[in-house]
C-alpha cells in the first residue's frame, strides 16, 4: 500500500518522483519496457536547460532517476496490465502477477512515436533517423533531410526543418496529402521543400561507414526503386498515447490522450493524475514533460492533504 504510485518514467514521471520523494511521500515508480522513455533513444540533448554543452539523453534520465532515489523514491520494473480505479485504494496489476495498491496514481506512460517498420529504421534511431524535428533538427544544419508523412504533422516538421537543412524532401506513399490545405500551401510555397509523392518507403539506406545516406522508395507510378538522398530521415506519421491498459476508466480524447482539467493534471477520476506526453498533444518536449511532472506531484500532494475539490468529473464533462 503506497501513498502514490507513478506509472512510467521519462522526464515527467521522474520529476514527479523527485517532488513526491522530497515531500516524504515515498512514491513507487513502475518502470516499463523502456525505462527513461523516449529520451533514452536520443543521443545529444541540447535544449534542456542547465546543460550548456548538452547531455546525452540516457545520461539525463539516469541523473533524474538517481535524484529521485536519493530522496527516497522506490523503483520496480514491470508492465502495468490492468488498473481498478473504481474504488479506493486503487489497484494496479503488473505482468508477472504482482499487485500494488495506492491512494493516488500518477500516469506518465508517454506516447510512442509511430514508425514505418522498414529495414534500417530502428537500427539508426538517433543516428540519422528521428521522430522529433524540434529535438534533432539542429544537428542537420546545411544537410539534406527527408520527411516521411502526409498529414499536418509532416507539413509542420518539414517547414521547421527548412530552418536548418539545405533542402527537405517530403516523402508520401500517395499522390494526395492528408494535411489541411493551409498547411500544404505553406509548405509548397517554401523553396527549400522538394516532393517525392506516390513513393512507398522501403528501407533506410546507409553508406559503407554506416551513416544514413537516404531513403529507398518505390515509385508507385513506375514500380521502380529510387533513392531519396538524405543525411537524415524524419518519420512524421504521428504518435500513439500509451493508455490502452487503462481500459477506458480514465477519460481520453478521440486519439487516446488523457483529458485533464485545464491548468492542472487532474483527470476525471479523483486521485488519478496524468503528466507528460500521455496528456500532451501539442508540445511533447522533455522540458514541458518535466514541468507537468512537477504539477502532477504538487496536485497529488494537495489531494492527499485533502485540499482539493473532488468533483472534477463535472468540470471535465461540462
The CATH number that applies at residue 150 is: 3.50.50.60
**193 and 248: one domain?**
no
Q: Is residue 290 part of a domain?
A: yes
**216 and 262: one domain?**
no
**218 and 132: one domain?**
yes
Its domain, for residue 268, covers: 2-113+239-308
**106 and 24: one domain?**
yes
Q: Number of folded domains in the chain?
A: 2
**131 and 228: one domain?**
yes
Active-site pick, 135, 275, 277, 300? 135
> Which residue is listed with cell 539545405?
166
Domain end residue (candidates: 235, 265, 292): 235
pLDDT for res 311: 47
Categorize the per-residue pLDDT at 50 as very low, low, confident or very high, splitting at 50, 70 and 90.
Answer: very high
Q: Is residue 318 part of a domain?
A: no
Categorize the per-residue pLDDT at 40 as very low, low, confident or very high, splitting at 50, 70 and 90.
Answer: low
Domain end residue (candidates: 235, 261, 283): 235
Categorize the per-residue pLDDT at 198 as very low, low, confident or very high, splitting at 50, 70 and 90.
Answer: very high
The chain-wide mean pLDDT, for the chain, equals: 91
pLDDT for res 96: 82
* Residue 275: active-site member: no
More confident residue, 67 or 307: 67
**138 and 200: one domain?**
yes
pTM for the predicted model, two decimal places: 0.76
Active-site pick, 59, 62, 84, 132? 132
CB-based contacts of 209-212 (< 8 A; 24+ apart in sequence)? 210/127, 211/127, 211/128, 212/124, 212/127, 212/128, 212/129
Q: How far is the C-alpha of 15 from the C-alpha of 10, rounded, in Å?
A: 8
- By percentage, how much of the chain surpasses pLDDT 70? 93
Q: How far is the C-alpha of 154 from the C-alpha of 148, rounded, in Å?
A: 7
Categorize the per-residue pLDDT at 45 as very low, low, confident or very high, splitting at 50, 70 and 90.
Answer: confident
309 pLDDT exceeds 80? Answer: no
Cell reading at 9: 518514467
**105 and 87: one domain?**
yes
**170 and 193: one domain?**
yes
**109 and 245: one domain?**
yes
**41 and 109: one domain?**
yes
**206 and 244: one domain?**
no
**130 and 229: one domain?**
yes
Query: 189-203 burial by CB neighbour count: b if 16+ within 10 A, else e?
Result: eeebbeebbbbbbbe
The Cα-based distances of 242 to 12, 25, 113 in angstroms read: 14, 26, 10
Amino acid at each position: 500500500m503506497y501513498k502514490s504510485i507513478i506509472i512510467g518514467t521519462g522526464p515527467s514521471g521522474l520529476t514527479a518522483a523527485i517532488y513526491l520523494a522530497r515531500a516524504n511521500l515515498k512514491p513507487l515508480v513502475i518502470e516499463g519496457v523502456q525505462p527513461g522513455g523516449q529520451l533514452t533513444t536520443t543521443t545529444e540533448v541540447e535544449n534542456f536547460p542547465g546543460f550548456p554543452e548538452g547531455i546525452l539523453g540516457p545520461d539525463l534520465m539516469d541523473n533524474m532517476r538517481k535524484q529521485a532515489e536519493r530522496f527516497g523514491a522506490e523503483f520496480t520494473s514491470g508492465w502495468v496490465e490492468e488498473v481498478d480505479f473504481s474504488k479506493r485504494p486503487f489497484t494496479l496489476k503488473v505482468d508477472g502477477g504482482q499487485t500494488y495498491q495506492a491512494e493516488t496514481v500518477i500516469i506518465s506512460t508517454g506516447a510512442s512515436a509511430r514508425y514505418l517498420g522498414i529495414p534500417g529504421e530502428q537500427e539508426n534511431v538517433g543516428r540519422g533517423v528521428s521522430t522529433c524535428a524540434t529535438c534533432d533538427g539542429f544537428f542537420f544544419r546545411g544537410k539534406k533531410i527527408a520527411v516521411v508523412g502526409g498529414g499536418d504533422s509532416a507539413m509542420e516538421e518539414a517547414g521547421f526543418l527548412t530552418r536548418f537543412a539545405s533542402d527537405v524532401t517530403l516523402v508520401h506513399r500517395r499522390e494526395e496529402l492528408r494535411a489541411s490545405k493551409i498547411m500544404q500551401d505553406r509548405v509548397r510555397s517554401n523553396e527549400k521543400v522538394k516532393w517525392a509523392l506516390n513513393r512507398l518507403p522501403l528501407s533506410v539506406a546507409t553508406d559503407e561507414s554506416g551513416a544514413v545516406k537516404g531513403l529507398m522508395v518505390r515509385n508507385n507510378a513506375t514500380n521502380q526503386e529510387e533513392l531519396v538522398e538524405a543525411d537524415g530521415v524524419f518519420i512524421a506519421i504521428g504518435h500513439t498515447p500509451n493508455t490502452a491498459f487503462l481500459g477506458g476508466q480514465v477519460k481520453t480524447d478521440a486519439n487516446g490522450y488523457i483529458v485533464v482539467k485545464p491548468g492542472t493534471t487532474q483527470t476525471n477520476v479523483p486521485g488519478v493524475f496524468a503528466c507528460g506526453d500521455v496528456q500532451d498533444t501539442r508540445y511533447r518536449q522533455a522540458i514541458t514533460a518535466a514541468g507537468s511532472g512537477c504539477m502532477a506531484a504538487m496536485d497529488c500532494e494537495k489531494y492527499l492533504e485533502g485540499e482539493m475539490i473532488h468533483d472534477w468529473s463535472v468540470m471535465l464533462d461540462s
